[in-house]
Amino acid sequence: MLNIANEGLQYISAGTRHAISSTPTTKSWPLPRRTHSSSTKSSATTSLPISDIPVPKPGDGQVLIKIIATSLNPVDWKIKTHGLFLEKYPAILGTDLAGVVEEVGQGVDEWKHGDRVYIQGQFENDFSSFQQYALALASTLARIPDNVSFDEAATVPVVLTCAFTGLYQKALYGLGLTPPFSPDTRGIYNGTPIVVIGGASSVGQAVIQLARISGLSPIITTASLTNADYLKSLGATHVFDRNISPAALQSEISTITQAPLKYVYDATSLPATQTLGLSILAEGGQLAIVLPLEVALPEGREARHVVGILRLPHQIEFTQTLYHDTIMPLLEKGLFKAHSFCLIVLLLWPRSNRLH
């Protein structure tokens, strides 16, 4: 098959997410190179054909990454279909990427050519991932451990940012738990229960693992029961059918723990799951949601709308610590695992083809 450099792509299926990867071949282009290929959306109503654009030059504090793998997230089809977050066209989509450092800008000492890295991109053309080369801020890069592949690394950034900020960002933006930035802050919530609604989703799996690292217990989740064993391997202690009623789930929780349920993370966040999450919370409890609140908020309960964007002003320092210092040892030691995936090969993505 042809690789991304020659207009071919591999899809890595990851449940509701996919990674697009290119395998270096003898025809890959060394820099300097004036143009490279991207999947470019030229207007709010068009598809995503392949086109040639100039290779960007890294500025101060930036690096240029040769992209080996990139993920598809739900936000990508929403942007393609509804034009979310886009104000100018042509626009390049894609926010998750893994690859190698190709070139570094002024003031960048930590990274060098050939380093294996991954990052959550931005909604800016030079920083997006549906292309062969992209810029990134050196301060927010994460190093890929030797035991993690490019494909695996490409499934991490958006999911990790959403899960981590939802659990640990301060009130209004998350549940406000103490983040596990060091061994001293891991395992400190033993005996504190949490419910994860939609545990088999990409974000749900990340939340379960982070909850386990923080010591939250029991970790109760809802999902298709076909995923029960896998979710327990990630750290869930109890798995209930995703169609369980609020009353039935409340009854099950009361038999598992007598501790008040202060934390629920709804990784699905549809009206029905928001209602479920709020109904099982104790007085003073908080519900983290990944979509806007669509149901009435009961008295004495709070909802925190999580926005998993690394570069938001209120969480840039927080997420820099996550990517720069925290996540690599967790991946390296197997304490946090990348999303599982299966490989589906696309033989060719011609310039006129649409991304469906």
Q: Is residue 355 part of a domain?
A: no
The answer to whether residues 138 and 111 touch, using CB atoms and an 8 Å cutoff, is yes
Q: Are residues 66 and 198 in the same domain?
A: no
Taking Cα atoms as reference points, which of 136, 167, 80, 142 lies closest to residue 311? 136
The CATH number of whichever domain residue 86 belongs to comes to 3.90.180.10
Confidence of residue 46 (pLDDT cuts 50, 70, 90): low
Query: Same structural domain for residues 50 and 130?
Result: yes
* Mean pLDDT along residues 196-220: 98
Residue 320 placed within a domain? no
* pLDDT value, residue 95: 87
d(CA 279, CA 301): 9
CA distance 270 to 54: 41
- DSSP, collapsed to helix, strand or coil, labels residue 240 as strand
> 27: which 2 tokens?
């025809």
Average pLDDT, the chain: 83
Q: Are 254 and 246 in contact (CB under 8 A)?
A: no
DSSP 159: H
Its pTM stands at: 0.83
Q: Is the pLDDT of residue 330 over 60?
A: yes
Residue 128's closest CA among 50, 71, 45?
A: 71
Q: Is residue 310 part of a domain?
A: no
Q: Which residue segment(s) compose the domain that 184 sits in?
A: 159-305
312 domain residue, yes or no: no
Q: Please give the C-alpha separations between residue 348 and each of 4, 169, 341, in angstroms, as whole numbers.
A: 9, 42, 21
What are the b/e assignments for 38-52, b being 16+ CB within 10 Å? bbbbeeeeeebbbee
Residue 42: per-residue pLDDT = 46
Angle at 323 between CA 61 and CA 24, to 5 degrees: 75
Contact between 297 and 303 under an 8 Å Cβ cutoff? The reply is: yes
- Give domain status of residue 255, yes or no: yes
Q: Summarize the confidence of residues 263-291 as an average pLDDT.
A: 97
What per-residue confidence (pLDDT) applies to 48? 56
Whether residues 131 and 89 share a domain: the answer is yes
Instruction: Provide the pLDDT for residue 205.
Output: 97
> What are the tokens at 168?
């640990």
- Same domain, yes or no: 75 and 200: no
HSE-CB at 135 with a 13 A cutoff on CA atoms is 18
pLDDT tier, 82 (very low <50, low <70, confident <90, very high otherwise): low
Assigned domain for 260 exists: yes
Is 12 in the same domain as 151?
A: yes
Q: For the residues 67-82, what does the mean pLDDT come to?
A: 77
pLDDT of 348 above 70? no
The pLDDT of residue 89:
73
The CA distance from 273 to 83, in Å, is 26
Residue 329 lies in a domain: no
Rounded Cα distance between 282 and 279, Å, is: 8
Q: Are 246 and 176 members of one domain?
A: yes
210 in a structural domain: yes
Structure tokens at 98: 């893994």
Which pLDDT score is estimated for 90? 79
Count of domains in the chain? Answer: 2
DSSP characters over 26-91: TTPPPSS-SEEEEEEE-STT----EEEEEPP---TTEEEEEEEEEEE-HHHHHHHHH-TT--SSSE
Express each pLDDT in 89-104 by its tens digit: 778 888 899 999 999 9
Q: Measuring CA to CA, which residue among 281, 285, 288, 280 is closest to residue 307?
A: 288
What integer is the mean pLDDT of 248-274? Answer: 98
Confidence check: pLDDT of 256 > 70? yes
Q: Are residues 114 and 141 in the same domain?
A: yes
pLDDT confidence of residue 84: 59
Q: Give me the CATH number covering residue 184.
A: 3.40.50.720
